[in-house]
Amino acid sequence: MPKIAVVEKKKCHPVACGGHLCAKLCPVNRTGKDCITWYEDNKAKIDEQLCTGCGICPKRCPFGAISIINLPEELSSRPIHRYGRNGFHLYNLPVPVFGKVVGLLGQNAIGKSTVVKILAGLLKPNLGGDDDATFDQLADYFKGSEAQGFFEKLKEKKIKISYKPQQVDAIPKMYKGNVRGLLTKVNETERIDEVVDALDLKNVLGTDIKDISGGELQRVAIAATVLKKANVYFFDEPSSYLDIKQRIKVSKFIKSLADENTSVLVVEHDLIILDYMTDIIHIMFGKPGVYGIVSLPKVTRNGINIYMEGYMRDMNMRFRGYSLRFDPRPSVSKEGLPALTSWEHITAKLGNFSLKAENGTVNIKKNIGILGENGIGKTTFVRILAGVLKPDTGEIAEKVKVSYKPQYLDSSSTDVVASLLGDAVNKYENQLIKPLDIEPLLLRPLNELSGGELQRVSICYCLAQDADLYLLDEPSAYLDVEQRLIISKVVNDVAEQRGCSVMVVDHDLMFIDYLSDELIVFEGVPAKCGEAKGPFDMEEGMNLFLTDLDITMRRDRETNRPRINKPGSRMDQEQKEKNRLYYS
């Protein structure tokens, strides 16, 4: 059986474990051979040939940095790529299909961006060796498969690629000037006005790149990608920072790119959007940070259901020990639950923006989802409830103790995670630390965490405070599907066990649906005025919200997950006639 030994360098702390504990314990080392030694950076180095797979080092490493994996027999033993010896291994590749939007679905650190970079020609695969593979080696490796054709065409320059990277935050560092300047510079088409229109960028054309919001930056990046003349487009996480209205708009736009000469590949964690945007998907599974395997293509609906189930029939492979069952929250009657806080006739003016909230009540043990466009006052409202901001009129009836996780996380501190969390590490071991997988991060400095790691730590920190009301502003950002579902479970448990309330602002509708008992819906005009309505029960709130979006949704027969109806389909029309836009 093919065996790989991977050391996740970020997790390896060769001094804190007492000095290369793995090497001290290794039975092969004890016979005088050099199975486990170390690299120049002092991190563990494992010789895959000498390793017997005894299982002692992965079990005993206090930081879980080592994985010795016996791969499934049917994998061709050579990976497509590995990041150096004892580094992450990638197996198989998806192939772009002309006329289709292909999706890539998998956990964080399972290799999705690596796949995209290889196909986009930005990363030369090494086929598991120490050097880049040549085009001929690749052609030989893929002989007889669809990928062979793809790499041959790439070599002959018959395929031209355009790529939107995952990290749009890097763009302001690379380009100085306004939005119009950037788009004009990259433009190779006649479509600039059409693209600006489709992505709602008219109002920001004159704005400096360094001053635009995250959601605007994302749409500028998508526009720039599309304005390059190409026949294969890659979008790595295009929905980040976008509100739901923009996600749907962007999805329609990306869908419209695929034709007989053009193919599109997207990585996406918002399952409703992935479902809506793609025709087929590849599932990626394996062990995050260690190895990733790309599945054969599946029709999207079926593929997402397989992903949630955690079992792949065609490979007879269970890749997760449990299924991500999607059970909608039972509707609990509000009667009898005491009110935690309420508000009346709130107004506030900030610059050109005015906020209004007539009246509403938050009951204890209730999770309230907050939905609305970017720039419509959600964060402002949350800050008023938290007492950080004083409204111009109206008041909050009951001053409650609030713990608040802001939307933008501060990552400048060099403190380690353990010192930020303090005694919460022991106090909430089962409620927070274990489910949020914080343990491996404890010794890491905050400024070295990835977006998803920092998000988990921030959520943990917020929920570890003593409070009556917890406010989480966009907790799903940077998290993968599994992590989003875990967060919603953790939030439910915290509300239930501590008898507190939780309010969550988010743009992932499935996440909100999974987590909320009630909804607050924002209406208005972004950057001008916004009004908070509700809390409503789920059905009423979703109906109000979806009316504005002009879409209807149903639940999937097998998994109960929410799906967007095809516009104009029978279901879409029927639900609109009955005015039941939400999952009837």
Which of 38, 123, 127, 166 is the binder for Mg ion (CB under 5 A)?
A: 166
Q: Which stretch, 22-30, 218-226, 311-319, 372-380, contacts ligand ADP (CB under 6 A)? A: 372-380
Please, are residues 569 and 395 in contact by the beta-carbon 8 Å criterion?
Answer: no
Give me the count of residues in the chain: 584
83 binds, among ligand ADP, Mg ion, none (CB under 5 to 8 A by kind): ligand ADP
Tokens read off for 420? 């930020």
Residue with smaller CB distance to ligand ADP, 113 or 559: 113
Q: Which does 263 bind (CB under 5 to 8 A by kind): ligand ADP, Mg ion, none?
A: none
Structure-block tokens of residue 138: 């690749």
What's the token pair of residue 492?
Answer: 């439910």
User: Using the rule CB under 6 A, is 110 a contact of ligand ADP?
Assistant: yes
In this complex, which beta carbon is closest to ligand ADP, that of residue 98 or of residue 408? 408
Which x/- pattern over 276-305 shows residues binding ligand ADP (rule: CB under 6 A)?
A: -------------x----------------
Return the SS3 of 281.
strand
Q: Considering just the CA atoms, what is the radius of gyration of the chain in Å? A: 25
> Judged by CB under 6 A, does residue 372 bind ligand ADP?
yes
User: Which residue in the set 58, 111, 369, 541 belongs to the binding site for ligand ADP (CB under 6 A)?
Assistant: 111
**Smallest distance from ligand ADP to CB 354, Å:** 9
State the number of binding residues for ligand ADP (CB under 6 A). 24
The yes or no reply on residue 113 touching Mg ion (CB under 5 A) is yes
10 Å CB burial of residue 109 (0-12, 13-18, 19+) is buried
The closest alpha carbon to 56, from 86, 85, 30, belongs to 30
Query: CB under 5 A: which stretch of 110-118, 151-159, 172-180, 211-219 binds Mg ion?
Result: 110-118
* Beta strand ranges found along 86-133 (DSSP E): 89-91, 101-105
Q: Taking contact as CB under 6 A, which single stretch among the options 68-76, 92-100, 108-116, 392-400 is the one that binds ligand ADP?
A: 108-116
Q: CA-to-CA distance for 193 and 196, rounded, in angstroms?
A: 5
Closest CA to 406 of 477, 343, 464: 477
Burial class from Cβ neighbours inside 10 Å (0-12, 13-18, 19+) for residue 41 reads exposed
Cα dist from 279 to 92, 96, 102, 273, whole Å: 20, 12, 6, 12
Nearest to residue 236, comparing CAs of 103, 88, 408, 82? 103
Residue 560, Cβ density class (10 Å: 0-12 exposed, 13-18 middle, ≥19 buried): middle
Spatial separation of the C-alpha atoms in residues 513 and 582, rounded to whole Å? 11
332 binds ligand ADP (CB under 6 A): no
State which residue, 428 or 470, has the beta carbon closest to ligand ADP: 470
**Paired tokens of 269:** 């964690």
Nearest distance, CB of residue 203 and ligand ADP, angstroms? 12
Q: Which two tokens stand for residue 224?
A: 């720039």
Encoded tokens for 43: 């991190």
Closest CA to 37 of 54, 18, 50, 55: 50
Compare residues 271 and 400 and give the one whose CB is closer to Mg ion.
271
Tell me whether residue 1 or residue 350 sits nearer to ligand ADP (CB atom): 350
Which listed range, 376-384, 416-424, 463-471, 559-567, lies at the site for ligand ADP (CB under 6 A)?
376-384
Residue 450 within binding range of Mg ion, rule CB under 5 A: no
From residue 70 to residue 109, the character string flagging contacts with Mg ion as x (rule: CB under 5 A) and all else as - is: ----------------------------------------
Nearer to ligand ADP, 149 or 214 (CB): 214
Of 236 and 468, which has the nearer Cβ to ligand ADP?
Answer: 236
SS3 content of the chain, % helix, strand, coil (to 5): 35, 25, 40
Least distance (Å) from Mg ion to the CB of residue 209? 23
Of 374 and 455, CB closest to ligand ADP:
374
Q: Is 135 helix (H, G, I), strand (E, B) or coil?
A: helix
Q: Is residue 512 within 8 Å of 475, Cβ to Cβ?
A: no
Check if the beta carbon of residue 359 is closer than 8 Å to that of residue 345: yes
- Quote the CA–CA distance of 49 and 156 in Å, as a whole number: 38
Residue with the CB atom nearest Mg ion in the bound state:
113
Instruction: Report the chain's terminal Cα–Cα distance, integer Å.
Output: 50
Q: Which of 92, 114, 431, 559 binds ligand ADP (CB under 6 A)?
A: 114
Decide: is 378 part of the binding site for ligand ADP (CB under 6 A).
yes
CA 487, 490, 492, 495: dihedral to nearest 10 degrees?
A: -120
Verify binding: residue 113, ligand ADP, rule CB under 6 A. yes
Whose Cβ is closer to Mg ion: residue 104's or residue 542's? 104
Beta carbon nearer to ligand ADP, 4 or 424 = 4
3-state secondary structure of 166: coil
Alpha carbons 371 and 343: distance in angstroms, whole number: 18
Q: At its nearest, how many Å lie between Mg ion and the CB of residue 166?
A: 5
By CB under 6 A, the residues from 504 to 543 that bind ligand ADP are 527
Asked if residue 83 binds ligand ADP (CB under 6 A), the reply is yes
Residue of 29, 67, 86, 108 interacting with ligand ADP (CB under 6 A): 108
Contact partner at residue 377 from ligand ADP, Mg ion, none, CB < 5 to 8 Å by partner kind: ligand ADP
Nearer to ligand ADP, 203 or 569 (CB): 203
Q: Is 403 in the site for Mg ion (CB under 5 A)?
A: no
In 475-555, where do the E strands start and end?
Answer: 501-505, 518-525, 529-537, 553-555
Residue nearest to ligand ADP (CB): 351
Give contact residues for ligand ADP (rule: CB under 6 A).
83, 87-88, 106, 108-114, 289, 350-351, 353, 372, 374-380, 527
Give contact residues for Mg ion (rule: CB under 5 A).
112-113, 166
